[in-house]
Amino acid sequence: MIPRVLQAQDYKNQQDPFDKEKVNILDSNGNKIGYYKVDVFDKSKINVYDSQGRLVQTIKNDAFDKDKTNTYDQNGNKQSSSKQDAFNSNRENITDKYGNIVGYREIDAFDKNRINVYNKNGTKIGYYKKNNISGNWEYFTL
């Protein structure tokens, strides 16, 4: 699962050298802008924190639909969801808190280590690329 956080700028994920359960989020200059970690009490939850250690987002599978992933803000309010498209197995639809499709992610047809991100109109707005050296996913805006 790739956390959908800080989409406004390019970032990459890096395993924390001191805490194996923590993954640091770095900006394009290599500065730590946050991190994510599996919740201590609920292993089905991933918590995302800013650089100050404040909770900014929680990602968890939906209680009623095992194929759906929900994203919540720091107060526990649902912000968005994502679920595999019923007609295209390579596409994951992204919905707002009301269930309206606002975009989608799709595996690149020519590069399986790349996931393209589109808005609701089908315009490509960015992509995730797997770093061949580190194995970490990096997000790039267009």
Token readout for 103 is 């975009």
pLDDT of residue 95: 92
CB 35 within 8 A of CB 24: yes
pLDDT at 108: 92
* pLDDT score for 122: 94
For residue 8, what pLDDT is reported?
A: 41
pTM, to two decimals: 0.72
> Considering only CA atoms, which of 26, 4, 6, 18 is closest in space to residue 136?
26
Q: Quickly name the fold that domain 11-141 has.
A: Porin (2.40.160)
For residues 20 and 36, give the distance between their C-alpha atoms in angstroms, rounded to a whole number: 11
For the chain, residues with pLDDT lower than 50 are 1-8
CA distance 65 to 137: 26
Q: pLDDT value at position 10?
A: 61
Q: For the chain, what are the domain ranges?
A: 11-141
Q: Quick one: tokens of 32?
A: 């730590």
- Write the burial class of residue 126 (CB in 10 Å: 0-12 exposed, 13-18 middle, 19+ buried): middle
Question: 12 by DSSP, 3-state: which?
Answer: strand
Number of C-alpha atoms within 13 angstroms, CB side, residue 17?
1
Q: Which among 75, 29, 31, 83 is positioned nearest to 56, based on CA atoms?
A: 75
